[in-house]
A and B are shown apart, each in its own frame.
Chain A
Amino acid sequence: MSILVDGDTRLLIQGITGREGQFHGQAMLNFGTQVVAGVTPGKGGQETFNGRVPIFDTVAEAVGRTGANTSVIYVPAAFAPDAIFEAASSGIGLIFCITEGIPALDMLRVYHVLRAQGVRLIGPNCPGATTPGEAKVGIIPGNIHRRGRVGLVSRSGTLTYEVVEALTDEGIGQSTCVGIGGDPIVGTSFIEILTLFEADPLTDAVVLIGEIGGDEEERAAEHIAKTMSKPVAAFVAGRTAPPGRRMGHAGAIISGGTGTAESKRTALRDAGVRVADSPLQIPALLREAGVA
């Protein structure tokens, strides 16, 4: 048992017959995730992954027949908000949306509707979450992990992999690794994930990976200073990014002197967080903080 996903996660894949759904569905099965159902409207009644996973036309039907409790979405941006709403109104309590390129105003509506329904959304434009030895949901490579007691939360996909590998290379295992996504409006914030890690008896320390844009990291710093007893190490990408230019992620832009890497690093340091200059320094900073 760890945060978000574990051996009891019963996963539904929305868009299971698409290219990404097929590739990552197989990778999740290989990792040991309980993939119990898939949804592709019009392909209900078929099966995939050598008959291991049944396909349904609707999420409600999939939930009713398989007891799925978590969904991961690989459908194109134009259809993703509807897929999220369908999952939320069909009894799914935890939704991961991997899809990138969803218009921000659509996400605004999705965000508030899901809050009102009490459904947790991770993403969109996120790599998912992995609890080594238990379950992986999303697109994070499975083979870089090691089971352990450090939690990781990030706004960036590949940078997550980089840090996970650095931890594993140094013999530091992970409890759960979560990517919350790089868009301006995401379903779940750093603060919410930090709160889950603080309460998780299987997590001893946390790594936070931030980037330029917005003030999520500054808010997280304030939250850490006030509420967290577990040590936190951090890396913030984008120290060399010029102001006014968008660095790939829709959320990664420095506007009007706010949201710089330096302001985030300072806020985190002031909150007692150990801040790395390179992702490779994270393991050493965790050791300093007493992580075995």
Chain B
Amino acid sequence: MKLQEFRSKEILARHGIPTLPGEIATTPAAARAAAERLGVPVVVKAQVLAGGRGKAGGVKLAADPAEAEARAAEILELRIAGAPVHTVLVTPSVVIAHEYYLAVILDRAARAVTVIASAEGGIDIEDVAQTDPAAVLRLPLHPLIGLQPHNVRAVSFFLAIPEAHRATFATTLTGLVEAFVQTDAELAEINPLALTSDGLVALDAKMVLDDSGLARHPDLEQLRDPAEEEPAEAAAREAGISYIKLEGTIGCMVNGAGLAMATMDLVKLAGGEPANFLDIGGGARHERVAAAFRIILADPNVRAVLINIFGGITRGDEVAQGIVEARAGLERQVPMVVRIVGTNADEAAFILESADLQTAYTLDEAAAMAVAAATAGEGR
């Protein structure tokens, strides 16, 4: 789960990391009031989970409260990477002497919690890593003892933190690792960590939490932003379905993440475009199949549905029953191609044939039939 900048900063501040005061506003008037309270100049920043916020015009400077209101009005009209902006953060503008990059990530290749640091902050760290790899430090932490004082010194000297700010830097790095571990994060990033006349301060922050860890952090689950989520994706999550909306016309219903990706790939290879990624999960019963259908068909772009089930834990007849039931209750009818193999495939075939549904034997065949059906539908 990705967290908004202001929420990430709240977590970092709780771990002793210096941040600036800030207020959240959902209307231009509220942004104006916030600027009045905080003192000007201020920066008005769109709170969206997508990257590229600055380039999209989502971060603006305002010299006085009236300007803060005007800038907030502009930003709240924006869509950034497709997502509408509902909230802005109003925060004091500061003079920056230097910008550092500091992050803690879970490095799967090193199998370690790893500190990433660069004295070239403020820009995309991946670009720095590409053009000047020596400018980026990757420091894997010991898996059992974690961050040690010598690690902090190593990062501090690598970044050439001025002596007067080394103590604050140590607090910041220690707090960042602590915040990462205690929230079960995948990423805790400060970019930039800025050196200002008041010392080091985290000007922007980003945290991504491990969804598997949320079960033991009910307080963090509360921070999920429903307004930021595609409504269909939220509905899917609640039904135990893994769903991502895409731009194509062929809805896909598959069991298993790897097979779901492969099915999308084959649709593309057959000349079509997948409308979604959808994994109904292991052992799905007919109710979940029906829920998956509703989610797929709620997308008006869908012209055909491809159902690909390889039953292991999942029973083919359960899915077939779910398809037949769900189809009967649907307002919108689209062509469907069904492939069910594995556990109870014979029983599934009987149910599907009785309901007069188009079936396929192989994956390639199913993809080709679905693409043909979607194309025919467009011609009508």
Contacts and interface: CB of A to CB of B under 8 A. Distances in A.
Nearest to B256: A158
Size class of the contact patch on chain B: 35 or more
A287 interface: no
B343 A141 contact: yes
Interface string A231-242: 000010111111
Interface string B77-96: 00000000000000000000
A112 B142 CA distance: 10
B361 to A, nearest CB: 10
Nearest to B186: A104
Contacts of B312: 127, 139-141, 157-158, 161
Contacts of B215: 77-78, 101
The residue in B112, B211, B254, B260 that gathers the most chain A C-beta atoms within 10 A of its C-beta is: B260
Contacts of B254: 158
B328 to A, nearest CB: 27
A247 interface: yes
A206 to B, nearest CB: 18
A247 B261 contact: yes
Interface string A128-163: 000000000001110010000000001111111110
A65 interface: no
Contacts of B261: 156, 159, 211-212, 237-238, 240-241, 247-248, 252
B371 to A, nearest CB: 13
A182 interface: yes
A77 B268 CA distance: 35
Contact of B211 (A165, A250, A252): A250
Contact of B256 (A23, A141, A159, A280): A159
B210 A105 contact: yes
A214 B105 CA distance: 13
A269 interface: no
B35 interface: no
B265 A238 contact: yes
Nearest to A108: B143
A289 B187 CA distance: 43
Given A127-B312, A252-B261, A108 B111 contact: yes
B108 interface: yes
A77 B210 CA distance: 14
B100 interface: no
B210 A248 contact: no
A158 B210 contact: no
A239 B268 contact: yes
A214 B108 contact: yes
Interface in A243-292: 244-245, 247-252, 256-257, 261, 277-280
B274 A109 contact: no
A209 B268 CA distance: 19
A257 B126 CA distance: 9
Contacts of A20: 313
Given A235-B262, A251-B108, A278 B363 contact: yes
7 contacts: A104-B184, A112-B111, A144-B342, A156-B258, A237-B258, A239-B268, A280-B363
Interface of B: 51, 106, 108-109, 111-113, 126, 143-144, 181, 184, 186, 210-213, 215-216, 242, 244, 246, 254-262, 264-269, 274, 277, 279, 282, 310-313, 341-343, 362-364
Given A141-B343, A278-B265, 12 more contacts: A78-B215, A78-B216, A139-B312, A160-B258, A185-B106, A185-B108, A214-B109, A235-B262, A239-B268, A240-B264, A249-B258, A278-B269
